[in-house]
Chains A and B, each alone.
Chain A
Amino acid sequence: GQQVMQIPQYQHVQEGEDFTTYCNSSTTLSNIQWYKQRPGGHPVFLIQLVKSGEVKKQKRLTFQFGEAKKNSSLHITATQTTDVGTYFCAGRLFSGGYNKLIFGAGTRLAVHP
């Protein structure tokens, strides 16, 4: 079936170190979105990538969408304790007559001061 794979499952870094999570789809996506979920909270939308090869930046966060629109990455430069949470990629694809958002497994980021 259609899947969105995300690695790593868990990342433990020291404050100031960089962090990257990777997302890969078995099918071409119409777009990919990234969400952040804090412990006990709900997912909060971060960004959407639509174009092949697109790169977007939000302060210390850099998002990339692959040329084939099947993979994506989120890179955080110089992590801070406020970056703690689970980062999910979510690929949008058309299936069964509907536009669906399929989530990756998420990468849980722990940042130690």
Chain B
Amino acid sequence: GAVVSQHPSRVICKSGTSVKIECRSLDFQATTMFWYRQFPKQSLMLMATSNEGSKATYEQGVEKDKFLINHASLTLSTLTVTSAHPEDSSFYICSAREPGAQPQHFGDGTRLSIL
């Protein structure tokens, strides 16, 4: 089945550091990928829709300059949390859909902890 790989799985770093998270579709091409954020025991909140070859579409309230998204190829999207602060600590999950299919396949997520 379709597999989405997300890396790294866990990041612990100091406040002010920028952190890059990668999301790859391993066996299919994904023109669109999605980035979610999940706080403990809460739901997944859609942050942005990543589009290959064009700018990402951000949800209301998500800072574009804070969460930089790049979707340079059909199998890779990256999310960079710039100048991260403790309040950015969260579980970030990416997902992708196979062309023409509905189910979204999720990566394993990245647990980000900012000290």
Contacts and interface: CB of A to CB of B under 8 A. Distances in A.
B104 A98 contact: no
Interface residues of B, number: 21
Contacts of B60: 1
Contacts, number: 46
A92 B102 CA distance: 9
A45 B105 contact: yes
A104 B45 CA distance: 9
Contacts of B107: 42
A101 interface: yes
Interface residues of A, number: 23
Interface string A30-48: 0101000000011111001
Given A96-B57, A98-B57, A100-B49, A45 B43 contact: no
29 contacts: A1-B60, A6-B43, A33-B103, A33-B104, A41-B108, A42-B106, A42-B108, A42-B109, A43-B93, A45-B103, A45-B104, A45-B105, A48-B102, A88-B43, A92-B102, A96-B57, A98-B32, A98-B57, A100-B46, A101-B46, A101-B104, A102-B46, A103-B43, A103-B44, A103-B46, A105-B42, A105-B43, A106-B43, A108-B41
